Amino acid sequence: MTPTATLSSKYQISVPKAIRDDLHWEAGQEFVFILKGKGVLLMPVPDLKQLAGIAHGANADGYRDRQDRY
């Protein structure tokens, strides 16, 4: 069965433990809400340390720089 949650009178939702454990979410972690049609996508905001090296080996061919702008 899919875990569910109820919106409280203070507009708060508790994320079910099964989801928190599967995604390794922790208390105090920051999230972003992205509207998707009639739903919402909830994504954790990554730390800068998590982004280090993410573009290693990326192909920069065709990259536009500020000289291309009007």
Which DSSP string do the residues of 2-65 spell out, in sequence order? -------TTS--PPPHHHHHHHT--TT--EEEEEETTEEEEEEPPPHHHHTTTTTT---TT---
The answer to whether residue 3 sits within a structural domain is: no
pLDDT in tens, 21-53: 999 999 999 999 999 999 999 999 988 887 788
Residues counted in the chain? 70
The answer to whether residue 52 sits within a structural domain is: no
Question: How many domains does one find in the chain?
Answer: 1
Q: Domain of 18? A: 11-46
Which one, of 10, 17, 9, 7, lies nearest residue 40 by Cα?
Answer: 7
The answer to whether residue 57 sits within a structural domain is: no
What pLDDT shows up at residue 69? 65
pLDDT at 56 over 90: no
The answer to whether residue 61 sits within a structural domain is: no
